[in-house]
Amino acid sequence: MSTLYVAQQGCYVKLQQEQLLIKHNDAICQRVQLPLVDQILVFGHCQLTTQALRACLQRQVSVLYLSRMGQCYGRLLPMIQGYRQLARYQQDLSEVQRLRVAKILVKAKLWNSRVLLQRQGRTRPTPGIAQAVGQLAILIRQVNEARDNAALMGIEGAGAAAYFTALGDCFVQPGFTFTERNRRPPRDPVNAMLSFGYQVLWNHLYSLIEAQNLDPYEACLHQGSRKHAALVSDLLEPFRAPLVDSLVLYLVNRKVMDPEADFEPQKGGCYLNDSGRRKYLQAFVVRMETEITSSSTLPRPRWDLLMAQVQEYKRFVYEPQTLFKPYLIR
């Protein structure tokens, strides 16, 4: 998936035939070939002309408007994408079928979190990591016994608590201490990166779900509110640790991020600033475009993992009596 991120504040995007010109202070800073772009993420204060927006709509390029922190205000979609072909099948899923998928997703999330900790523990073992790895194994077994979504959410919460406590042991650079996961607002640099990372990945996943004509509001695990695109949150769960948490670990432990220069305090919290956001997005894009090989398939970029998961869900919706196969790291 080819994405244009417009993250520099004060940019101005206009159309010139088949290209987008991105200007900053009247100087052209980038030319982008519109036919080769799948979606555009606009962060904060950047302007797109109506001509540019219309050209995007004509080419089925969706445009997302996000805050500088990565929270999505809204999406501009071509008319044709409003039709959700599979919504009827999704609504027909029974409670039993939904709970079964919800269990599979929670299990996959716990499994992937545990693998990440195990890998970290191999280079830098601590008692905290060993304890959390053991605890996660117990919780994975308990998932099968959950009677309903509430019980399942309880197990998921316990897993997250154990996992994030141990994750703190994995950050080794001064200035990046991580004691607990907090959000709205995130209170330290690591939490700021995690929040931004989940938001950005969430929005990408939303686009993929919509592109497959699934209804993002019909979910299995997160069923609380009809106003929340819960299917996106459902399918995101297995990817949090391998795609976001591990990237944040890399950015901190390899000293890509500077605890002073890349963050700013705002509204009682701690957020990425312009340079921090660009660093994160650059590393994120490199990671997502890197080709990986698993035993059964040809090398493919990590984007395909997300795509494959959405397609797997689509397949499941057509044949709900079959098993949904989640993304698991080996």
Partner 1 sequence: MLLYIVAYDIPSNRRRKKISDLLEGYGRRVQYSVFELMLSPAKYAELRRRLRRYVQMEEDSVRFYPVSKHTLDQVEIWGGVPLTQPPGSIIV
Relative orientation angle of helices 246-253 and 274-289, to the nearest 10 degrees: 120
Using CB under 8 A as the binding rule, whether residue 291 contacts partner 1 is answered as no
C-alpha 47: how far from chain center: 25
Nearer of residues 271 and 303 to partner 1, judged by Cβ: 303
Q: Which is nearer to partner 1, 6 or 251 (CB)?
A: 6
Binding-site member from 25, 26, 27, 36 for partner 1 (CB under 8 A): 36
Residue choice 14, 26, 27, 32 for contact with partner 1 (CB under 8 A): 32
Query: Are 276 and 43 contacting, i.e. CB atoms less than 8 angstroms apart?
Result: no
Nearer to partner 1 among residue 33 and residue 297 (C-beta)? 33
What is the distance of C-alpha 77 from the center of its chain? Answer: 20
Q: What H or E segment, with its residue span, contains residue 32?
A: strand 27-33
Which one, of 295, 204, 215, 200, lies nearest residue 247 by Cα?
200
Best CA proximity match to 60, nearest among 89, 84, 40, 38: 38
The least CB distance from residue 173 to partner 1, in Å, is 24
Interface residue with partner 1, options 27, 35, 225, 298 (CB under 8 A) = 35
Tell which residue, 25, 29, 36, 30, has the closest CA to residue 1: 36
Measured from the CB of residue 46, what is the shortest distance to partner 1 in angstroms?
A: 8
Is 80 near partner 1 (CB under 8 A)?
Answer: no
Q: Residue 204 annotated as binding? A: no
Binder to partner 1 among 2, 51, 131, 294 (CB under 8 A)? 2
In angstroms, rounded to a whole number, what is the distance separating the alpha carbons of residues 210 and 329? 25
Q: Does 5 bind partner 1 (CB under 8 A)?
A: yes
- Position 17 contacts partner 1 (CB under 8 A): yes
Does 33 engage in binding with partner 1 (CB under 8 A)?
yes
**If binding is defined by CB under 8 A, does position 285 make contact with partner 1?**
yes
Q: Which is nearer to partner 1, 239 or 316 (CB)?
A: 239
CA 38 to chain centre: 17
Are the beta carbons of 224 and 230 closer than 8 angstroms?
yes
- The yes or no reply on residue 34 touching partner 1 (CB under 8 A) is yes
Cα–Cα distance between 280 and 43 in angstroms, integer? Answer: 13
Q: Per-residue x/- mask for partner 1, residues 245 to 284, rule CB under 8 A?
A: ---------------------------------x--xx--
Is 206 a binder of partner 1 (CB under 8 A)? Answer: no
Backbone angles phi, psi at 204, to 5 degrees: -65, -45
Give yes or no for a contact between 159 and 113, defined as CB atoms under 8 angstroms apart.
yes
Q: Are 134 and 99 a contacting pair, CB within 8 Å?
A: no
Distance CA 64, CA 138 (A): 40
Q: Is 145 annotated as a binding residue?
A: no
Q: Is 260 annotated as a binding residue?
A: no
57 sits near partner 1 (criterion: CB under 8 A): no
CB 61 within 8 A of CB 39: yes
Q: Is 30 in the site for partner 1 (CB under 8 A)?
A: yes
| Stretch touching partner 1 by CB under 8 A, among 13-21, 111-119, 164-172, 178-186 | 13-21
- Return the range that interacts with partner 1 (CB under 8 A); candidates 31-39, 85-93, 122-130, 245-253: 31-39
- Interface residues with partner 1 (CB under 8 A) are 1-8, 11, 17-19, 22, 29-30, 32-37, 278, 281-282, 285, 288-289
Binding-site residues from annotation for Mn(2+): 156, 222, 237
